[in-house]
Each structure stands twice: as C-alpha cells, then as structure tokens.
Amino acid sequence: MAKPEEVYQCQTVNCGCIYDPDRGDKRRKVPPETCFEELPEGWSCPVCGGTRKNFKPLHGPGSVKEEHEKQ
C-alpha cells in the first residue's frame, strides 16, 4: 500500500483526481507500482488533462494537507 506522501492529487479547478502508484494509470498505459516521479514526461491527468505540475502530494512538504493546515 502506498504511503500518503507517494500519492498525488490534481489541483486544477473541479478535478481532484488522485494518482496512486499502487494502481498506475490504465488509460495512459502506466503500470502499477510506477512512482509519480517516474511518470513519462508527457503524462497528464486522465480526468482533466492537467500536467504533472498540477499535482501535489497528499502528505508531507508542499502537500495538500500542509496547505489546509496553514489556513
């Protein structure tokens, strides 16, 4: 099971897609156990098409959780 800091969430408006390395991305032919950092250069969100820059980790430095705690 992936640790929370290994799971990323898309931060575009109304998306919230989660990239879980345990599952990979079948639509983009990314096999399970592929770390977010190892995703292909042109990979994008399967829901909204956002780039990797639109994703943040769920936990840890620069994470979604850290931003909510600051507010």
Digits of tens for pLDDT over the chain (71 positions)? 888 889 999 998 889 999 999 999 999 999 999 999 999 999 999 999 999 999 999 888 877 666 667 66
pLDDT of residue 8: 93
The rounded distance, in Å, linking the Cα atoms of 8 and 45 is: 11
Q: What is the pLDDT of residue 33?
A: 96
Which range of residues forms the domain containing residue 51? 4-70
First to last CA, the chain: 30
Q: Say what the pLDDT of residue 71 is.
A: 64
Q: Is 55 exposed, middle or buried (0-12, 13-18, 19+ CB in 10 A)?
A: buried
CATH code for position 40: 2.20.28.10
pLDDT of residue 64: 66
Helix or strand or coil: residue 69? Answer: helix
pLDDT for residue 65: 67
The number of domains in the chain is: 1
